[in-house]
Structure 1
Amino acid sequence: MRRTAPSAAGHLLLASLALGGPALAWDRAVQRGAAIARTDCARCHAVERTGASPLRIAPPFRELHTRYPVENLGEALAEGIRTGHPSMPEFRFDPDEAAALIAYLKSLER
């Protein structure tokens, strides 16, 4: 599955940095990443701070950082996440979406 979104999102993130400061931009990226996770990932993964994954073999997002550094997922998210099991669809996110999803994953580490 290929996701496309307007590249204007990246411009909004940059504008937020310039106008609202890094904390506001971070919060917006986290919120956008959370929305992406709920829309595209929650069918199988637990995407919140609590709860079990609907698909037992799908790791909860709050635990991903214990398996590998989530900040290194940008390229994989942009090129297409592929796994060894056939039930996971291939996802491709534009760079702004990947950055937002990573920001959300990082927020779950706290």
Structure 2
Amino acid sequence: MLLALAYAPPASATDARVGRGRTLVQTNCARCHAVGRVGASPLREAPPFRELHTRYPVEDLAESLAEGIRTGHPGMPEFRFDPDQVDALIAYLKSLER
């Protein structure tokens, strides 16, 4: 247990990453997806982000987010994020699992 705590990022760093991820999804994704803990997606085919972890580990999205995610619902634009943005997006998606 102590070993895990020694390697865990400080709560403020984690909170900051989650906040950056939240901003990214609100800016880029909320037009189609429900990006919070409640609510329906504006585009019915776009899954709510709070449910993604029930389909697969959200960490699996990291490569697609960095290389250019092109799949998803019909008409989804291609997004490509830098490594820090990917880290923030994954941190935000993981925060929705709680």
The TM-score by the shorter chain falls in which range?
A: 0.7 to 0.9
Q: Cα distance, 1:86 vs. partner? A: 4.0
Instruction: Tell me which residue corresponds to 1:26.
Output: 14
Deviations 1:54-73 (A, max 9, x none): 00000000000001100121
Which residue matches 1:106?
Answer: 94
Which of 85, 96, 104 is the aligned partner of 2:84? 96
Q: Which structure 2 residues correspond to residues 1-110 of structure 1 after superposition, within 5 A?
A: 22-83=10-71, 85-110=73-98
Q: For residues 86 and 34 of structure 1, what CA distance do their matches in structure 2 show?
A: 23
Equivalent position SS for 1:27: helix
Q: Hey, what's the Cα distance between the residues in 1 that align with 2:21 and 2:65?
A: 12
Structure 1: gaps spanning 5 or more residues: 1-20
2:17 corresponds to which letter in structure 1? A
> How many pairs does the alignment contain?
90
Percentage identity across aligned positions?
76
Cα RMSD, aligned residues only:
1.2
